[in-house]
Each structure stands twice: as C-alpha cells, then as structure tokens.
C-alpha cells in the first residue's frame, strides 16, 4: 500500500496542479503574494497526507496530520476566494472548478478522519 492510493491524496494532487497553473496567471504582484500563499497551502494539504501516512501506525499522529491537511485545505479555500473577490482571478470557470474540488476534498477528508477514528488499522 502507498500514500498515493487513497482517493484523498489523488484529489489533493489534482488541486495542487490546478492551483499551481492558475496561480501563475495573475499580475506579478499577486503571483508572489496571494499566489505564493495558495501554492504553499495546497501543497501543504497533500504533504500532510503523506506525512500522516508515514505515521499511520500511531493513530493519534495519523489523525493529527489528517487534520493538518484539512486545515490547509481550508486555508487554500480562503486564498482562492481572496483571489476571486479581489479580481486577481477573473476566470469564473477556473474558480468554480477549483472551489468545487477544494470543497469536495474537505468533505472527503472529514469522512476519512472519521473512518480512521472509528476503525484504525495499520495497513502492512
């Protein structure tokens, strides 16, 4: 088994890729300000899943890193909304597509955490 197998990691990877591409489009100023922040928070989401997977033998550590992933996803949503509301991101289709994936990830990670809390088993 690999950290790449769970659906939450795969969705996080899609979000990172789309955000990276989107964040390079705004003005130079915004690309380095909010663009940099959204790239870091989305990558932090994916990285927290990987780090949590590495600690999956320890239920509390695993859950802690999954919660970090969930909170980084919330931060990503906030940066995305900031970019759109300040009109640094003007493509509504791109905004909506990424926002839908970020929201879906939030739901999936929440359910994943509940599953780990209820039935924690260390995969070998």
Does the pLDDT value for residue 124 go beyond 50?
Answer: no
Predicted local confidence at residue 29, as pLDDT: 62
Tokens 């791109």 correspond to 94
Residue-wise pLDDT for 43-83, tens only, equals 999 999 999 999 999 999 999 999 999 999 999 999 999 99
> CA triplet 63, 113, 120: central angle to 5 degrees?
70
Q: Enumerate domains of the chain plus CATH numbers.
A: 7-118 (1.20.1440.60)
Predicted local confidence at residue 3, as pLDDT: 63
Does the pLDDT value for residue 40 go beyond 50?
Answer: yes
User: Are 56 and 99 contacting, i.e. CB atoms less than 8 angstroms apart?
Assistant: no
Does the pLDDT value for residue 33 go beyond 90?
Answer: no
Range 27-39 average pLDDT = 78
DSSP assignments along 42-76, one per residue: HHHHHHHHHHHHHTTTSHHHHHHHHHHHHHHHHHH
Q: Which two tokens stand for residue 60?
A: 């509390």
């Amino acid at each position: 088994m690999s950290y790449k197998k769970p659906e939450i990691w795969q969705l996080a990877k899609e979000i990172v890729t789309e955000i990276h591409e989107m964040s390079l489009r705004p003005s130079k100023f915004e690309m380095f300000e909010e663009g940099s922040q959204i790239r870091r928070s989305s990558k932090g989401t994916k990285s927290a899943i990987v780090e949590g997977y590495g600690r999956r033998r320890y239920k509390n550590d695993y859950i802690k890193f999954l919660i970090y992933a969930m909170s980084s996803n919330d931060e990503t949503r906030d940066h995305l909304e900031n970019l759109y509301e300040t009109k640094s991101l003007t493509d509504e289709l791109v905004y909506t597509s990424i926002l839908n994936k970020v929201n879906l990830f939030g739901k999936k990670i929440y359910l994943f955490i509940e599953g780990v809390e209820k039935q924690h088993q260390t995969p070998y």
